[in-house]
Amino acid sequence: MILYYQTHSPFARKALVFAHEIGLADRLEVVHHETSPTRRNDDVYAENPLGKVPVLLRSDAEPIFDSDVICAYFDTLHERRKLIPESGEPRWRALRLQSVAQVLAQTGIGLRWEWERRPEQLRWPALAKGYEEKIEATYDWLDTTFLPEEDIDVGQIALATTLSWMAFRALPSFRDRSRLTRWFDAFEQRASMVATPLSGETQD
């Protein structure tokens, strides 16, 4: 299988960390592709009409995208404990946390546009403030509500890769939330995170 990847994408990294955690990473050929809303990548568009990574290419079936779907597919390919719980409250907690992490990353991306990527005369301070408020509220919720399961799951992977990316991009910090910070610092030491470091700059 081929994974279209980007070394500074929290979403692509989530899929690759997931693959490492289930012992699948050695079955992947990871191919870096630069993409952005202002830079068309024809190779990626040929496989995903949204022009975004990650995309998983399979020799015997159609491509799969985005990271949520790729992780769900990966979870069908191994005999270990499933990282997307199959039933009950653990399933809904994992999927809820994954959703929170995904939207947190999207909000961080929006804030970067207003802080630095959009031409200065087109930036909207009120929108940036709204994004910041959502980020801070999410950190507060995570610090007080998030009770990680003893066994990791897709939600924890999504959250760890998002928080790592928020720090990588110097976005509002979560580090004044002590419980969240302790959990993240421990998770970041996992082999799957160490093997998939973030690097590179967005190319618009």
Is a pLDDT exceeding 90 seen at residue 202? no
Chosen domain end from 17, 41, 74: 74
Output the domain CATH number for residue 64: 3.40.30.10
Statement to judge: residues 144 and 68 lie in one domain: no
Enclosing domain of residue 121 = 88-191
Q: What angle do CA 40, 33, 77 make, to 5 degrees?
A: 125
Chosen domain end from 31, 51, 74: 74
The two structure tokens encoding residue 25: 């990473």
**Strands of the sheet with 61-64, listed across from one edge:** 29-32, 2-5, 55-58, 61-64
The predicted model gives 45-58 an average pLDDT of 97
Is a pLDDT exceeding 90 seen at residue 204? no
Statement to judge: residues 98 and 159 lie in one domain: yes
Statement to judge: residues 177 and 94 lie in one domain: yes
Statement to judge: residues 43 and 134 lie in one domain: no
- If one counts the domains in the chain, the total is 2
Output the domain CATH number for residue 130: 1.20.1050.10
Contact call for residues 136 and 171 (beta carbons, < 8 A): no
Hunting for tokens 């928020």 — which residue is that? Answer: 166
Statement to judge: residues 98 and 157 lie in one domain: yes
Residue type, 56: L
Q: What is the pLDDT of residue 102?
A: 98
Handedness of CA 5, 10, 11, 14 (dihedral sign): positive
Q: Kind and range of the H or E element at 188?
A: none
Alpha carbon distance, N-terminus to C-terminus of the chain = 28
Would you say residue 201 lies in a domain?
no
Statement to judge: residues 95 and 164 lie in one domain: yes
For residue range 3-15, list pLDDT tens digits in order.
999 999 999 999 9
Hunting for tokens 């568009």 — which residue is that? Answer: 45
Tally of CA atoms within 13 A in the half-sphere of 72 that contains its CB: 11
Would you say residue 203 lies in a domain?
no
For residue range 67-124, list pLDDT tens digits in order.
999 999 999 999 999 999 999 999 999 999 999 999 999 999 999 999 999 999 999 9
Chain mean pLDDT for the chain: 96
Q: What is the pLDDT of residue 174?
A: 98
Q: What is the pLDDT of residue 75?
A: 98
Statement to judge: residues 100 and 177 lie in one domain: yes
For residue range 169-197, list pLDDT tens digits in order.
999 999 999 999 999 999 999 999 999 99
Q: Distance (Å, rounded) from C-alpha 146 to C-alpha 148?
A: 6
Hey, what's the torsion of the CAs at 99, 190, 174, 156, to 10 degrees?
Answer: 20
Q: What is the pLDDT of residue 144?
A: 95
Statement to judge: residues 166 and 93 lie in one domain: yes
Distance of CA 108 to the CA centre of its chain: 11
Statement to judge: residues 184 and 104 lie in one domain: yes
Q: What is the pLDDT of residue 159?
A: 98
What is the pTM assigned to this prediction? 0.96
For residue range 91-103, list pLDDT tens digits in order.
999 999 999 999 9
Q: What is the pLDDT of residue 148?
A: 85
The two structure tokens encoding residue 28: 């992947």
Is a pLDDT exceeding 90 seen at residue 149? no
